[in-house]
Amino acid sequence: MDLSRSATLDAAPFLNWGDFKEITKARLAVSVVFSALAGYGLAVDSFIALDILLLGLGGYALVGASNAYNQVIEYRLDALMMRTQNRPIPAGRMSVRTALRWAIIMTFVGGLSLWALNSKTALFGLLSVVLYAGVYTPLKTKTPLAVFVGAIPGAIPFMLGWVAATNSFGIEPGTLFMIQFFWQFPHFWALAWMLDEDYQRGGFALLPTRKKDTTSAALILIYIIWMLLVAIIPVFGVTGTLSLSVSAAVIITALGLVMGYYGVQLFLDRSTASAKKLMLASVFYISAVQVIYVLDRWI
């Protein structure tokens, strides 16, 4: 296949559902919308259907746009890696022009949807697109510090729901941001550990030391500890109207300790299998924490 030719042909502007899911990374986008709705649920006294619709549509569109821009920028690198070589652009099912067109459309749809809620929500949402596509993506092949940059847009969704509901930014959404910010390091480094050989084919430098070594594993453990501590800060009554009961804090701590256990296993054996267990535990952890926060608020 002539990748350079197939990736630049002006394909039809219509996408099939499979390619739309691929170019927007549908599962990731849905998880982001879930985070935003959880943040919304922590801030409101009653749910407004139109707000939920706008937040869901805007959140999905902007995450989808970020992922589409990412695939436009990295399609040559995606072709080198097993996990990404069948994406629409490197596989020749979609042109760069078509993907870029849809990314721009989704940026406008997402921005306008969130603007209909309030300007702060739209600005935070658009900031996440700029940081993800414009800063994080090009840094991935240059420095492991890209992960720190990428953690910023990745942490915005949980706080975005609060901002959407209140049109304000303060200690409460700031705390939600920090919860998801610190979680991303053990989560993403575990994923990078799992896929290190494949990432190296694409020239990505994502582990803290660029290697699957003891130092990288130790840093994962350190960030698990920070993640655990930040997640229970509201129980001490220092985060404004964002609160957490003692029982909920105990459950969240227990979930964090499970991640800690898998982090220790990774530190001891430095195996791909341990990294995969930690990554899966981290996915469960963040969803469970968000559900616990919302249930604790409403029950």
Query: How confident is the model over 106-153, as pLDDT tens digits?
Result: 999 999 999 999 999 999 999 999 999 999 999 999 999 999 999 999
Q: What is the predicted pLDDT for the residue at 16?
A: 82
Q: Which two tokens stand for residue 197?
A: 């050989």
Helices (H), 79-170: 96-115, 119-129, 137-139, 146-166
The alpha carbon dihedral of 84, 282, 187, 174 has a sign of: positive
Average pLDDT of every residue of the chain: 93
Apex 24 CA angle, 59 and 256, nearest 5: 65
Per-residue model confidence as pLDDT tens digits over 258-294: 999 999 999 999 999 999 999 999 999 999 999 999 9
Q: What is the predicted pLDDT for the residue at 17?
A: 86
Q: CA-CA distance, 3 to 46, in Å (whole number)?
A: 51
Apex 42 CA angle, 263 and 26, nearest 5: 60
Confidence of residue 249 (pLDDT cuts 50, 70, 90): very high
Q: What is the predicted pLDDT for the residue at 9?
A: 46
Q: Mean pLDDT over residues 28-48, rounded?
A: 96
Q: Mean pLDDT over residues 180-190, rounded?
A: 97
Q: Which two tokens stand for residue 237?
A: 């009554």
Backbone phi and psi for residue 2, each to the nearest 5 degrees, phi listed first? -85, 95
Residue 1 has pLDDT above 80, yes or no: no
Q: Which two tokens stand for residue 166?
A: 């209140």
Confidence of residue 67 (pLDDT cuts 50, 70, 90): very high
Q: How many CA atoms lie within 13 A of 156 on its CB side?
A: 23
Cβ atoms 230, 249 nearer than 8 A: no
What is the percentage of the chain residues whose pLDDT exceeds 90? 93
DSSP state of 84: T
List the one residue out of 208, 67, 210, 59 whose CA is nearest residue 137.
Answer: 67
86: CB partners within 8 A, 6+ apart: none
Helix (H) or strand (E) holding 212: none
